[in-house]
């Protein structure tokens, strides 16, 4: 069988399987299944590449690996006169992107408290590559009344080179003893520039100031402080070896299903008294798995219709309630493709069972009922075995 005939038979399995299998049976060659294995691996690797290119994950500083280290360690914060700084391991934001502490600031008999974060490096918040937002969580335990002023300062080269923004609009509906989730756009008109040398491309420190109408004992918590707003695709951060690992995984998936399915059909047909020969059966089953290649091509076509998918901090942060809302929004963008994928998977199962039944009938001359019974049992067991072996 020439290479052209092999390719023709591969695709003939899709639209005329009975005829294709009859042409393959007299001279079965491994080249056909091996070509299908290559097609399947390349198609699925292409799908992974497409998926990784379309999926953009929000980058934060501190990074996901560092979690919210600035609100985990009190030593990052400068001790200002009269202010006590402690690590609170009881009341904090619980999530996978967060740690297990917040920073507690307290001051006795005062109407004003400030806290300053230093040693954060030089952070670029300008241009296309710079961070677009800063987010943090704030809770005041006492006093019960709302502050009359909250201001954030972002310092540049020196203490006199800074940007400031009033945050009172973020607390208009707030009360004491609840976590307030703030996300503040950077580089907008809401920020006042203190000097010409204040530079969005070189942010080195942060100060928060709170003022209440009257003197009291002040206690407030800060947690989950991140610079954010940069989105990068999985493909930008992944290495070539990442795709290679997926390619090897798909090779294992194909070979595992091919061998297990062929072995089960061989054993079951032998048990029913057929004189099944291993090589023709193995090669014909390999040809039948061209359906997996078809599935990969359809998945690529369906996924390519999706817009760029953005995974914000709320989705990956793991905070209860926030993750669900972000995930539901993502589902709204992908539900049609997910529906197509579910129906396609069912069709692939049924189609593969049909092809296996045709192969069994051609090799053994069993009745259609018996052929379908063996094909169905063998295929379902092979899927379970593959899941057990490969872990998915």
The model's pLDDT over 250-284, given as tens digits with 9 standing for 90+, comes to 999 999 999 999 999 999 999 998 898 999 999 99
Q: Which helix (H) or strand (E) holds 104?
A: strand 102-117
Q: Which residues are within 8 A (CB) of 363 and not within 5 positions of it... i.e. 6 or more apart?
A: 25, 269, 274, 276, 277, 280, 281, 284
Give the tokens for residue 216: 């009291």
Instruction: State phi, psi for 377 to the nearest 5 degrees.
Output: -60, -45
Handedness of CA 32, 35, 39, 41 (dihedral sign): positive
Per residue in 149-181, pLDDT tens? 999 999 987 778 889 999 988 887 777 788 999
70 contact partners, CB below 8 Å, separation of at least 6: 62, 76, 117, 120, 225
List of residues 6+ apart from 133 with CB closer than 8 A: 183, 184, 185, 186, 227, 228, 229
- Identify the pLDDT of residue 183: 92
CB proximity list for 215: less than 8 A, separation 6 or greater:
109, 110, 111
Look at the block and give the residue holding tokens 């052209």.
4
Q: What's the pLDDT score for residue 317?
A: 85
| pLDDT for 248 | 92
Q: How far is CA 6 from the centre of its chain?
A: 39
Q: What is the pTM of this model?
A: 0.81
> Residue 34 has what pLDDT?
95
89: helix, strand or coil: coil
Contact residues for 87 (Cβ-Cβ < 8 A; gap 6+):
72, 73, 74, 101, 102, 103, 104
Q: What is the phi/psi pair of residue 276, to 5°?
A: -75, 135
Q: Where are the domains of the chain?
A: 3-58+234-390, 60-229
Q: How many angstroms separate the CA atoms of 148 and 201, rounded?
A: 31
What distance in Å separates the CA atoms of residue 163 and residue 161, rounded to the nearest whole number?
7
What whole-number distance in Å separates Cα of residue 214 and Cα of residue 252?
Answer: 70
Cβ 228 vs Cβ 313: under 8 Å = yes
pLDDT at 256: 95
**Residue 134 pLDDT:** 94
- pLDDT of amino acid 197: 85
CATH topology of domain 60-229: Jelly Rolls (2.60.120)
pLDDT at 264: 96
pLDDT tens string, the chain, 392 residues long: the values are 566 788 888 889 999 999 999 999 988 899 999 999 999 999 999 999 999 999 999 999 998 888 899 999 999 998 888 899 999 999 999 988 898 999 999 999 999 999 999 888 899 998 888 999 999 999 989 888 889 999 999 998 777 888 999 998 888 777 778 899 999 999 888 899 988 888 999 999 999 999 999 989 999 999 999 999 999 998 887 767 788 888 999 999 999 999 999 999 999 999 998 898 999 999 999 999 999 999 999 999 999 999 999 999 988 888 888 888 888 988 888 899 989 999 999 999 999 999 999 999 999 989 999 999 999 999 999 999 988 888 76
């Amino acid at each position: 069988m020439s290479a052209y005939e092999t390719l023709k038979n591969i695709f003939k399995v899709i639209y005329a399987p009975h005829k294709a299998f009859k042409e393959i049976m007299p001279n079965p060659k491994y080249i056909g299944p091996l070509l299908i294995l290559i097609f399947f691996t390349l198609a699925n690797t292409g799908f992974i590449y497409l998926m990784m290119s379309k999926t953009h994950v929000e980058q934060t500083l501190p990074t996901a690996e560092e979690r919210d280290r600035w609100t985990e360690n009190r030593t990052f914060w400068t001790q200002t006169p009269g202010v006590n700084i402690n690590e609170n391991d009881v009341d904090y934001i619980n999530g996978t992107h967060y740690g297990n502490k917040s920073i507690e600031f307290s001051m006795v008999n005062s109407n004003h408290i400030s806290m300053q974060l230093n040693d954060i490096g030089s952070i670029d918040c300008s241009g296309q590559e710079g961070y677009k937002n800063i987010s943090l969580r704030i809770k005041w335990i006492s006093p019960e009344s709302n502050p009359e002023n909250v201001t954030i300062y972002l310092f540049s080269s020196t203490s006199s080179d800074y940007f400031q923004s009033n945050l009172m609009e973020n607390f208009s509906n707030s009360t004491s003893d609840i976590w307030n989730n703030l996300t503040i756009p950077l580089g907008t008109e809401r920020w006042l520039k203190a000097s010409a040398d204040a530079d969005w491309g070189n942010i080195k420190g942060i100060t928060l100031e709170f003022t209440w109408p009257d003197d009291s004992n002040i206690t407030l918590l800060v947690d989950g402080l991140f610079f954010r707003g940069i989105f990068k695709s999985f493909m930008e951060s992944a290495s070539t070896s990442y795709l290679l690992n997926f390619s090897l995984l798909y090779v294992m998936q194909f070979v595992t299903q091919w061998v297990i399915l062929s072995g089960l059909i061989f054993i079951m047909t032998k048990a029913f008294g057929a004189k099944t020969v291993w090589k023709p059966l193995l090669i014909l089953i390999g040809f039948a798995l061209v359906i997996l290649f078809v599935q990969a091509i359809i998945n690529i076509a369906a996924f390519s219709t999706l817009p760029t998918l953005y995974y914000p901090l709320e989705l990956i942060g793991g905070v209860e309630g926030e993750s669900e809302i972000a995930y539901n929004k993502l589902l709204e963008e992908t539900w049609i493709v997910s529906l197509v994928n579910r129906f396609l998977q069912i069709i692939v199962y049924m189609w593969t069972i049909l092809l296996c039944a045709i192969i069994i009938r051609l090799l053994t001359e069993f009745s259609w009922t018996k052929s379908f019974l063996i094909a169905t049992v063998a295929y379902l067991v092979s899927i379970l075995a593959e899941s057990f072996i490969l872990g998915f």
